[in-house]
Amino acid sequence: MFKKVALLLLVLVLVGAFVACAPPVPAEIKIGVNAELTGGIPVVGASCKNAAEMAVKEVNDAGGLEVGGRKYKVTLLIEDNEDKAESAAAAAQKLNTAGVLVHIGANASRNAIPASTVCEDAKLPMISPWSTNPKTTAGKKYVFRACFIDDFQGVVAAKFAINELKANTASVLYDVASEYNKGIAEIFKKTFEEAGKQVVAFETYTTGDKDFSAQLTKIRASGADVLFLPNYYSEVPLQVQQAHKLGYTDTIFGSDSWGNLELIDLCGADCEGLFFTTHYAPDIATPKAQKFIADYEAAYGKTPDDVAALTYDAFGLAFQAIQAAGKIDRQAVRDALASITKYEGVTGTMEFRGTGDPVKSAVIIQIKNGKFTYYTSAAP
């Protein structure tokens, strides 16, 4: 009898203690990162983690994030999604259970799409830094991204060909078996032709092909002013070299899938002077970007890539939205994110117009002396 009473008292005391300890408002803001730390693209995960830690450290060093007149410390929870769709969903679930206010990640679209479904169901605001596939945000209320979508690159490339390269006719060679390449190529063609210009050769191949001589001979015979190659960096060098061997001498340009330094190793002098559209250029001139690059180099000893810059911007967007919301509440943060009209980021100025895809500018890079060099910016 005595034992039972003692146990009951103990339980009551413990419950009381918990109730008494639970603070009315949290003293900190938790932000979750869902990144590809291991798996096929560990470089992407590492850049994401570095930039996330840097963004959070900057805020905490300044005394924390001021929300509704009170300063909050920001804590970072980082989960590895192993570059697998199912692990990305599990990581998002884990971060949701841990009570994060905003979910940053995942980066590759194959991981960001499953994570976005989890976040949407949990009504947890999510920002993917690097996923350019339209499906990540399509039809979702709580999912945002810091980069532009594939379609936009097709538009930018077409405008670049018309305005900067002064092209009247264009040719395209793209991988018909890959969603990314096909999407950009089709948008490019549509935009280019709507401007009254002509796509005189629209040629395809399938993933794994190494000989493009038939298509490139056709392209050369078509007399097109420019050649657009929205293909991956591992295939572009072959296409450029074969084009040159077949006597093609006009301008060749591509999309953000070129943006890996391996392109230059494989391509050598053949890629000199060529252009591609992408998210960001390390030598871009805005003071904010310069400060970010200098800080990143000081902290990690290397130049930040596009993933690092976009992750930093994803945090910037999250902080701005939390401050605008004025309270620690997921719904309020989502609403504030959706109504951001101006955010000055490292990768350019962004705004959201009713969808999770920001309206922002792209950057055109030229390959000069074996380096990716900033050429110009393209407004949306």
Helix/strand/coil for 280: coil
From the list 52-60, 146-154, 204-212, 223-231, the region that binds another protein by CB under 8 A is 204-212
Rounded CA separation 302/317 (Å): 24
Which residue, 220 or 360, has its beta carbon nearer to another protein? 220
Cα-based distances in Å from 366 to 65, 251, 377: 38, 11, 12
How many whole angstroms separate alpha carbon 201 and alpha carbon 229?
Answer: 12
Work out how close the CB of 214 gets to another protein at its nearest, in angstroms, rounded to a whole number.
4
Candidates 8-16, 240-248, 278-286, 331-339: pick the segment binding another protein (CB under 8 A): 240-248
Under the binding rule (CB under 8 A), the answer on residue 228 touching another protein is: no
User: Which residue is it, tokens 């980066």?
Assistant: 107
Segment 57 to 116, residues that bind another protein, using CB under 8 A = none
Q: Which of 204, 286, 376, 377 binds another protein (CB under 8 A)?
A: 204
Q: Is residue 229 a contact partner of residue 222, using CB atoms and an 8 Å limit?
A: no
Q: Work out whether 179 is an interface residue with another protein (CB under 8 A).
A: no
Candidate list 43, 176, 195, 294; residue touching another protein; CB under 8 A = 176
Q: Does 23 bind another protein (CB under 8 A)?
A: no
The tokens for 226 are 């420019």
- Residue 309 phi, psi dihedral angles, 5° rounding: -65, -40
Question: CB 202 → another protein: shortest distance, Å?
Answer: 8
Return d(Cα 50, Cα 55) in angstroms, integer.
9
Stretch that binds another protein, among 125-133, 156-164, 230-238, 359-367 (CB under 8 A): 230-238
Residue 79 and residue 91 in contact, taking contact as beta carbons nearer than 8 Å: yes
Told to check if 303 binds another protein by CB under 8 A, we report no
User: Minimal distance in Å, beta carbon 231 to another protein?
Assistant: 13
Candidate residues 20, 23, 196, 210; the one interacting with another protein per rule CB under 8 A: 210
| Closest CB to another protein among residues 30, 84 | 84
> Looking at 28, 66, 209, 335, which residue binds another protein (CB under 8 A)?
209
For another protein, the binding residue among 23, 24, 208, 287 (CB under 8 A) is: 208
Q: Within the chain, where are the H helices?
A: 2-21, 42-61, 85-97, 109-122, 150-163, 179-194, 213-222, 236-245, 262-267, 287-300, 306-325, 330-338
The verdict on 245 binding another protein (CB under 8 A) reads yes
Cβ atoms of 156 and 362 closer than 8 Å:
yes
Residue 43 in contact with another protein, rule: CB under 8 A: no
What gap in Å lies between CA 261 and CA 117, rounded to an integer? 33
Q: Which is nearer to another protein, 101 or 267 (CB)?
A: 267
Query: Which residue of 11, 14, 221, 294 would you call a contact of another protein, by CB under 8 A?
Result: 221
Q: Do β-strands 198-205 and 226-229 pair in parallel, antiparallel, or remain unpaired?
A: unpaired
Which residues of the shown chain bind another protein in the complex (CB under 8 A)? 176, 203-206, 208-211, 213-215, 217-218, 221, 234, 237-238, 244-247, 262, 266
